[in-house]
Amino acid sequence: MLAGDLYLADDPELEADALRAAELGERYNASSVTDLPARRALLRELLGEVGEDVVVRPPLSVDYGQYISIGARTFVNCGAVMLDVAPIRIGQDVQIGPNVQLLTPTHPLDPEPRRAKWEAARPVTIGDNVWLGGGVIVCPGVTIGANTVVGAGAVVTRDLPPDVVAVGSPARVVRRLDTADVP
């Protein structure tokens, strides 16, 4: 699964991992905003790696959680969907708008293996200091370079280089950021 090979999602071991994530996610999403230590502890238990001063506003949806790493000082707004069948790596100082989807699962184009419930996955990597606007969808196998800004509602189907602004569906680069634009 993590290597990108075909797998069956209803494998008992995978189902147990997904159930663990669903239970922890349910607890995290119901956690009190006034009890930040408990909320942070749940997030650290749910996800594979969480840097210092990370904020993830509920609700958060994951497949397994354990394959997600989030760098220090990153902010994830409400409604994030992170399907981590393959690793999802989010850098430091990233800003993720509401209802963003980071998707690693893929399915065969051939109807027979798809009907038989075979799936695969490819990792998603978000570089440091990236800003993903509200409703952005990042497709399997995509890497977004450092400092890049992706406009609201964009669908990112291919890698984006560092230091650009990208918009649309599919996302396309509309301009480069110069050093004056990057903190």
pLDDT, position 178: 83
In a domain, 19, yes or no: yes
Q: Give me the mean pLDDT over the 77-83 stretch.
A: 98
48 tagged catalytic? no
Residue 183: pLDDT band with limits 50, 70, 90: low
Beta bridge partners of 102: 82, 138
Which domain does 82 fall in, by range? 7-176
On whether residue 182 sits in a domain, the answer given is no
pLDDT for 179 equals: 63
Summary mean pLDDT of the chain: 95
Domain assignment of residue 44, yes or no: yes
Q: Using one digit for the tens of pLDDT, what is the confidence trace for 18-60? A: 999 999 999 999 999 899 999 999 999 999 999 999 999 999 9
Read off the tokens for 67.
Answer: 């394959």
138/125 Cα distance (integer angstroms): 9
Residue 100: pLDDT over 70: yes
* Percent of the chain whose pLDDT exceeds 70: 96
Question: What's 47's domain CATH number?
Answer: 2.160.10.10
pLDDT at 180: 63
Q: How confident is the model at residue 98 (pLDDT cuts 50, 70, 90)?
A: very high
Q: Say how many domains are in the chain.
A: 1
Pairing of strands 7-8, 60-62: unpaired
Average pLDDT of span 155-165 = 98
| 182 and 163 Cβ atoms separated by less than 8 Å | yes
The answer to the question of residue 22 being in a domain is: yes
**Catalytic hit among 107, 146, 155, 167:** 107
